């Protein structure tokens, strides 16, 4: 059955995308989930990771935090996350600086809350570096 999936991606700050796509790949707690047009309805908890969607022959990549994915019976997918950054908007230099800062905090801090936040910042920055490097390769 040919067709498109209506996709909406929203973070706390703004709506990041609304449009018709051929496919969505989302990081969930149970692994990466692929959603095609006319997928069965579902509700899934998302984890931080790489979200990708395909429009025609082009893939768009975002780094997302935790959130939810809702696929409705009306051929719609709604992604709601705390934060999201388009691959094209990632600064490799800033992500590398964030890795260094987080590693330093992890080595020096004894505060559990600070350690948890530093570990989360480290995971996010490392993911951004990986996505930015892959995105840069694909543009060349």
pLDDT at 26 over 90: yes
Partners of residue 84 on adjacent β-strands: 64
Sign of the CA dihedral running 91, 97, 103, 106: negative
At 140, the pLDDT band (50, 70, 90 cuts) reads very low
d(CA 127, CA 120): 11
* Distances in whole angstroms, Cα of residue 88 to Cα of each of 16, 61, 69, 103: 13, 8, 23, 25
**pLDDT grade for 44, boundaries at 50, 70 and 90:** very high
Q: Mean per-residue pLDDT for 38-66?
A: 94
Residue 31: is its pLDDT beyond 70? yes
End-to-end distance of the chain based on CA atoms, in angstroms?
A: 34
Are the C-beta atoms of 39 and 5 separated by less than 8 Å?
A: yes
Q: List the CATH code of the domain at 5-87.
A: 2.60.15.10
Q: Give the residue-averaged pLDDT of 50-56.
A: 95
- What are the structure tokens assigned to 68, written together? 């939810």
pTM value > 0.85: no
The pLDDT of residue 139 is above 80: no
CA–CA distance, 89 with 122 (Å, rounded to integer) = 18
8 A C-beta contact, residue 35 and residue 107: no
Query: pLDDT value at position 80?
Result: 97
- Positive or negative: CA dihedral 86, 61, 104, 93: negative
């Amino acid at each position: 059955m040919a067709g498109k999936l209506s996709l909406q991606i929203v973070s706390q700050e703004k709506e990041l995308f609304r449009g018709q796509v051929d496919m969505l790949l989302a990081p969930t707690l149970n692994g990466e989930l692929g959603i095609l047009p006319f997928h069965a309805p579902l509700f899934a908890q998302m984890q931080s990771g790489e979200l990708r969607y395909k429009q025609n022959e082009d893939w768009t990549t975002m780094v997302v935090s935790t959130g939810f994915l809702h696929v409705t019976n009306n051929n719609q997918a709604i992604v709601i996350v705390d934060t999201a950054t388009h691959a094209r908007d990632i600064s490799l230099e800033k992500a590398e600086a964030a890795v260094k800062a987080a590693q330093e905090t992890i080595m020096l801090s004894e505060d559990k809350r600070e350690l948890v936040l530093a570990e989360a910042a480290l995971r996010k920055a490392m993911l951004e570096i990986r996505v930015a490097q892959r995105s840069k390769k694909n543009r060349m």
